[in-house]
């Protein structure tokens, strides 16, 4: 009896949560109910903005290219800041990136947040631009501990940064 009661209560709670997560249909219905304008102005009559339109990927690439320093923040004791710093400095392309690792967050142009999902072996990272708050990259590594995870994580971070900062290698024929 108690089990059945709990199932009913949980079912009602989850149904209301699911319904509240549904997108609202009101905006689409009001847009359909309005009559279409009779005459639309020609594109030449509309003012054109002088501001160039930037795509999201070009904004991310520009933020990576403009960066000079990196700050690393760790939210886990399993992967320390020092461990990831050493792993980044061991990467072969790190010197080519011309980036410095700093210890103060306000000094870092790029911020790397490192964490480990609780009760798992997934180590995650998020690379953000400090000024704009734009997420530039993210990923996760499956490893037993932070020391093992730091190598592949540093490799992925350097690969992402290299794609934006270093010129593409030319293919010889």
pLDDT recorded at residue 156: 96
Whether the per-residue pLDDT at 120 is higher than 70: the answer is yes
Average pLDDT over residues 20-33: 38
CA distance 108 to 114: 15
Domains along the sequence of the chain with CATH:
56-165 (3.30.160)
Residue 55 has pLDDT above 90, yes or no: no
- CA 129 – CA 114 distance, rounded (Å): 15
> Which strand (E) or helix (H) includes residue 96?
helix 94-97
**Res 53: pLDDT:** 56
Looking at every residue in the chain, the average pLDDT score rounds to 79
Region 3-19: mean pLDDT is: 61
Model pLDDT, residue 52: 54
User: For residue 130, what pLDDT is reported?
Assistant: 93
Q: How is residue 125 annotated by DSSP?
A: E
Residue 29 pLDDT? 34
Residue 28 has what pLDDT? 33
Residues 155, 108: Cα–Cα separation, whole Å: 20
Contact 141, 152 (CB under 8 A): yes
Tally Cβ neighbours within 10 Å of residue 18. 9
Three-state DSSP class for residue 117: coil
pLDDT top residue among 91 and 43:
91
Label residue 84 by pLDDT band (50, 70, 90): very high
Backbone angles phi, psi at 73, to 5 degrees: -120, 130
pLDDT of residue 2: 79
pLDDT at position 171: 65
User: What pTM did the predictor assign?
Assistant: 0.66
How much is the pLDDT for 26? 35
Q: Is the pLDDT of residue 159 over 60?
A: yes
């Amino acid at each position: 009896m108690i089990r059945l009661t709990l199932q009913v209560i949980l079912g009602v709670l989850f149904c209301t949560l699911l319904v509240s997560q549904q997108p609202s249909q009101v905006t689409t219905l009001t847009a359909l109910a309005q009559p279409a304008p009779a005459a639309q102005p020609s594109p030449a009559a509309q003012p054109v903005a002088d501001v160039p339109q930037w795509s999201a990927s070009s904004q991310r690439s520009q933020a990576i290219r403009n960066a000079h320093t990196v700050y690393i923040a760790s939210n886990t004791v399993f992967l320390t800041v020092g461990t990831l710093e050493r792993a980044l400095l061991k990467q072969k392309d790190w010197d080519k990136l011309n980036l410095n690792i700093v210890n103060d967050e306000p000094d870092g142009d790029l911020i790397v947040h490192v964490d480990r999902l609780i009760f798992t072996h997934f180590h995650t990272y998020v690379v953000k631009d400090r000024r704009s708050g734009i997420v530039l990259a993210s990923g996760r590594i499956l490893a037993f501990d932070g020391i093992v995870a730091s190598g592949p994580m540093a490799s992925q971070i350097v690969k992402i940064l290299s794609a934006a900062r270093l010129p593409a290698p030319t293919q010889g024929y």
